[in-house]
Copies of this chain bind each other. A is one copy, B any other.
Amino acid sequence: MPITDTSKSANCLAMSDVLNRIGDKWSVMVVGILGKSGTLRFNELKRMINGISQRMLTLTLRNLERDGLVTRTIYPEVPPRVEYSLTKMGKTLDGPISSLWDWSSDHHQAILEARAVYDTREGAIAKENTRKIAYARG
């Protein structure tokens, strides 16, 4: 199945564009968490997402809102309250995101082990022989 036909090329460009937003780890985490929790306030999100800065959360939420994936509701109270949740389109994205989420927790350990194996082997190769790399690895 060649990728060079029109539909696949279009997919490629769509992916490239969408991934510039969605491929960002913070966006994935926000969508994933909102998908699981429903509606959250700014600082609730901030506390749930490991290591995100206030600035990045603000930017991420703005971009998601701009792309029509997240709704932002301001309650004119004091102290201020702003709630975020997924739009209808955002909810459709939560499916693929959840798949990715599940895959991550299922294979995280395997990836860590693969890295360890790779690093060990590369280290051994480098120490043993730096010239004869001309054979298949794996």
Contacts and interface: CB of A to CB of B under 8 A. Distances in A.
Contacts of A56: none
Interface string A3-40: 11000101111111111111111001100110011000
A111 B29 contact: no
Main secondary structure of the interface of A (DSSP, over half): helix
A136 B73 contact: yes
Interface residues of A, number: 71
Nearest to A4: B48
Given A23-B23, A76-B135, A114-B68, A104 B15 contact: yes
Nearest to A110: B89
Nearest to A82: B136
Nearest to A80: B134
Given A74-B136, A115-B67, A36 B1 contact: yes
Given A36-B3, A48-B3, A67 B100 contact: no
A93 B100 CA distance: 8
B93 A96 contact: no
A76 to B, nearest CB: 4
Nearest to A20: B25
B19 A74 contact: no
Nearest to A40: B3
Given A72-B136, A96-B99, 14 more contacts: A1-B36, A1-B37, A3-B48, A4-B48, A14-B104, A15-B25, A16-B50, A17-B104, A68-B113, A68-B114, A75-B136, A87-B138, A96-B96, A96-B102
